[in-house]
Each structure stands twice: as structure tokens, then as C-alpha cells.
Amino acid sequence: MDMQDDLEKSRTRLKKEAVALQKMGERLVLLSDDQLDRMELLPALVDAIQTVRTIKSHGARRRQMQYIGTLMRSVDAEPIEQALLEIEQGAYRQAKAFQRIEAWRDQLVDGDDDVIHEILGTFPDADRQRLGQLVRSARKEKEKNAPPKSTRNLFRYLKTLSAGK
């Protein structure tokens, strides 16, 4: 009899697992349709996610999220969790890369020429002459308090270099 009790999950543990699956469902709702399609989810789960996005009423939305949690109990959550982590880490890396490009642009415009060497080391295919020209234009722009057209062009060029890597 004790072995059977050990095999059965406690009510508290079942509730914790249900809440965890519902929270995973909430993370799924935040994904784009394209990201959801790549995850190979059950059609009923995808339909429930699409439905919750259209619901405005708090109570109805809460019930729909509970329904998503119920549907999540019938699927293997491990591959879904892994896919969510990959998506979230990709977004984090993308944000970090964007911040690095912004920092480079700001340093270049502020007069730090050492950053050019860092950029050329990171992106060997970069056009040194074009980079220098964009930096000079952006610095002149800053001196004259002109609209940041050249600064934007510099940022776009750095972003293009980063995307090509």
C-alpha cells in the first residue's frame, strides 16, 4: 500500500504542475503566429491560443488561459519548454547585439576612433573608407546640431554589418 501512495502524486503537486503548465501557456500566447507554427503544437492548443488573443474580458481571458493549461496537460511539455527557451534566448541575443551597435555608433560619433579598429576586427568585410566617411559626416552633424541623418546612416551600416556576420 505504501508503494502505491508513493507512486500517486499529491494534490498539491498536481496543482503546482497545472499552474506551471498554465504559465507556459501564457508564454505561448505572447509568441507570434510564425513562432507558434514552428513549434508543432496540437491544433486545439493553437486554436485556444488564437482565441485568447481576441478576448478582452478579464474573466473570460482567465477561463481561456485555464483551458489552455488543461490542454497543456495532454502534451509533452519538455519540447515546448525547450522551444520557448530558444526563442527567448534568441530575443535576448538580438537585444544585446542591438545595444552593442548603438554603443559603437555613440562612441564613434563622440570621437572614439579605437572603436573603428574593434569594428573592423569583428567584421573583416567592412568597408573602412565608407565607415570613416559615415563617422566624419555624423561628427560634423553633431557639431552643427543638425538632424541626425548621418548618424542614422552610420547605425544602419553597422546593423547591416552585424546582420551579415
pLDDT value of residue 45: 92
Residues 14, 135: Cα–Cα separation, whole Å: 60
What is the DSSP-derived secondary structure letter of residue 9?
P
**pTM to 2 decimals?**
0.57
Report pLDDT digits (tens) over 95-129.
Answer: 898 999 999 999 988 888 888 888 888 888 888 89
Report pLDDT digits (tens) over 27-81.
Answer: 999 988 888 888 888 899 999 999 999 999 999 999 999 999 899 988 888 889 9
Other C-beta atoms lying within 10 Å of the C-beta of residue 64: 20
Residue 62 identity (one-letter amino acid): R
Q: Angle CA(56)–CA(60)–CA(63) in degrees, nearest 5? A: 135
Residues 120, 23: Cα–Cα separation, whole Å: 44
pLDDT value of residue 49: 92
